Structures are given as structure tokens and as C-alpha cells.
Amino acid sequence: MREGDQTLSKAARAWCMYDWANSAFITTVTAALYPPFFRSLATSAGLSKSEATAYWGYVSSAALLTVAVLAPLLGATADHTGGRKKYMAAFAGLGICVTASFMFIGGDAWRVAAALFVLATIGFAGANVFYDSFLPRVSARGHLDRVSSRGFALGYLGGGVLLVLNLLWVTYPGFFGLPNRDLAVRFSFLSVAVWWALFSIPFFRNVPEPGVFGRPAHPRAAVIEGFGRLVRTFREVRRYRQLFLFLVAFWIYTDGVGTIVRMATAYGDDVGIGIDDMVAALVITQFVGIPFTMLFAKLAERIGPKPSILITLGVYAGIAGSAYFMSTAAHFYALAIAVATVQGGCQALSRSLFSRMVPDEMGSEFFGFYSASSKFAGVFGPLVFGAIAHATGESRLGILSVVLFFVVGGVLLGRVDVERGEALASSDNRV
């Protein structure tokens, strides 16, 4: 049973604040500063620019592949042991501590940078497995789209505020008492860790812990049971046919979204766009994304989340195709703003649409599959992108491969019967 309106409202607000907290990792680290930072370490070690871009794609894929393998097991285990918040805190703590350690990477240590980025991503994404599973617990089903969209909007705002500060540090290091740009970049990584830790506190204080479905189990026994539940879930997946079809569609189109986010600054750097322009464009993206995320929530109330997501995929396909011709900072700004109009809406509505078709008693487990879908998606896009860059010596052809992910994902999403999926989830919740 969910708690009363006052407690629920407080819990929902605290839940949304975690998006504010952890989005700094995506904006400052993954999207803005770490790809060029990694490339500079790699080129200092003697790699060519195209090789550095390719290896960044491989590193991104390795990080997400690791999380994709772990995510379903994490969710299943948490459902049996309880303590989802403890699991979430452990992974968030890992991500925060490793992100802080980025400050000490130097010279040509690109392999160390790669390993630490993989660990930080495991912490970030592992925590999100549990974080996402709280959405149906803090919001009534009728408000899922709105609460999920507010979380993403706060993520845009929080990530954008810190990114503005980081941009100022990197652009005018002397004004802030920093001796050079390199140290400003390193302090930016440290600021992400502090920001993430500080603004996670409301979630852990105010979001209630869900109950354990079934008898609580020892963690070791829960891991074994977790494997068993995964096997049973795969066997019974036909029962959740619409949910499974959505996962496949989500897996494919999110591959495109993740590739754009993770490879944008590496690609921009490769075609000669300066880091100041790229980071400034990403700052604009954060703030443009806030109203558009909420506009898509309103649109979903009128036409439904599925048609709204399909609109975002059409825009994304156009963006990926246009990026092939990008050659100036103005082009990067235009495409970044275009991404901002659809990214929050696509991600928020995907999360809430999935929530509609999930039975409560399998919340963490199914959100583990949801997270695994998005992480497996992020494996193949950067991998293909990197392989093409490696093979051809330049990365323009890699961006064209992204269009296919949006087209195929959109076609499969169009076949999902949301009402049937919701009806099955509701009937299971009553059992």
C-alpha cells in the first residue's frame, strides 16, 4: 500500500531530486569533459585522433556491457532481500568515490582512465537500477508520466547548473584561482562527486523502503534465488509479451540515444570543434531540455506516451542524419539544441510507459531488465561507431549507423499494445 498524499508528495519530490544529483555525472563527465580528456591522454600516449575516438567508443561499450550483465541480477536479488536503498547507496557510493578519483589521472594514463570510467559507470548505472524501481512506489499510476518527467527536468536543471560552473572554470581558470585549464577540468570531476553525494541525501532520507516480496532471504541465498528468478522470468516472458516487445524496441532506439550522448563531444573533437563551444552547447542543451521535457509530459496526457515517444524518435533520426554533415561550431550548437527538444521527453516517457506495464511484486527485477536493455543498447552503438572510425580512419560514417537504431526501434514500438500490457500488470497486482 502506498502512503497518504502528504507523505507521497514528499517522497516523490525527494525521488526527483536524485535526478538532479546524479545527472551531473552524465552532463559534465560522460557528455562534456571526459571524452576530450580521455582523448588527450590517449593521443599523449601516441594514438591517432581516430584511434582515440575508437577506443573511447570501446570503453563506453565495456562499461555498459558490465552493467547490463549485472542489472537483472541486482534487481532480482533486491526484491528478495529488501533494502533496495542500501543497494542503491552502495552503487552510488562507488560511482561518487571513483568520479572523485578522476582528479588524479594524469600524463598518458589512458588505460587507467578507461578502467576508472568503467567503475564509475557501474556505480552510476547500478544505482539507477534501484532508483528507477522506486518510481511506481512514489507515484500513483495516473501520475507516472508527470513524476518521471519532473525527475528528468530536474536532472536537466541540476546537471546544467553545475555544467555552467564547470564551463566557467575551464574557460576562465585564472579568475577562479586555478593555474590552468587542465586543473580546472580535474576540479570539475571532483565537483561532480561532491554534487552527486550532497543532493542524494533527500532521497535516502525521505523515500520509504518498499517491502520484501515473499520471505526475506540472506544475500547469498538471494543471489542464487535471483539467478533462478531470471531463468523463470525468461521462461514466462510470453505472459508479459507487450512488456517484452517494448523492452526490445527500447533496447534498439536507446542505443541511438546513448550513442549520441556518449560520442557527441568525441565526434565533435574529431572534426575540429573546440571544447569551449561543445561544452557551451551542452549547457544550452540542459536548459532548453527542461521546458521541452515538461511539454512532452503534457503531450503524453493528450495523445499518450507511445505516440509522443515516436515523435521524438523521428526527430532523433533527422539529427543523426544531419550530423554527418557537421563541420562548424554553429552546426554543433544547432544539433545540440535539437537533441534538447526530445531527449528528456524520450527518456522520461519511456520510463513511465514501462512502469505502467510492470507488476509491483516484480518491480526491481523488471527494472533490472529495463536497465539492462538500456545498457545493452549503449554497448552496440558506441562499439559500431568506434569500429567504423577505427576501420576508416574517420568517424563521419559511424554517425550514419545511428539512424537505423531509431527507425527499427520506432517500428517495433508502434506494435506495442500498451492497454493490454497495463491490464496484465494490474491483474497481477491484485493477486
End-to-end CA distance of the chain: 14
How confident is the model at residue 289, as a pLDDT? 84
Q: How many beta carbons lie within 10 A of that of residue 267, not counting itself?
A: 26
Give the C-alpha separation, 335 to 100, whole Å.
31
Give the CATH number, domain containing residue 122.
1.20.1250.20
Burial 133-160 (b: 16+ CB within 10 A, else e): bbbbbbbeeeebbbbbbbbbbbbbbbbb
Q: 327: exposed, middle or buried (C-beta count within 10 Å: 0-12, 13-18, 19+)?
A: exposed
* Tally of domains in the chain: 1
Give residue-wise pLDDT tens across range 293-310: 889 989 998 999 999 999
Give the C-alpha separation, 159 to 163, whole Å.
6
Domain that holds residue 313: 5-429
**pTM for the predicted model, two decimal places:** 0.74
Q: Which of 275, 22, 31, 29 is nearest to 170 (CA)?
A: 275
Task: Name every residue whose Cβ is closer than 8 Å to that of residue 355 and which is 6 or more positions away in sequence.
Answer: 135, 136, 141, 144, 148
How confident is the model at residue 51, as a pLDDT? 85
Q: Which of 32, 8, 37, 59 is nearest to 105 (CA)?
A: 37
Binned average pLDDT, 10 residues per bin, the chain of 431 residues: 47 92 93 91 89 85 78 67 83 97 93 95 88 80 75 86 94 94 96 98 90 55 61 62 88 87 80 85 86 90 94 95 90 92 90 82 64 63 78 76 91 93 71 43
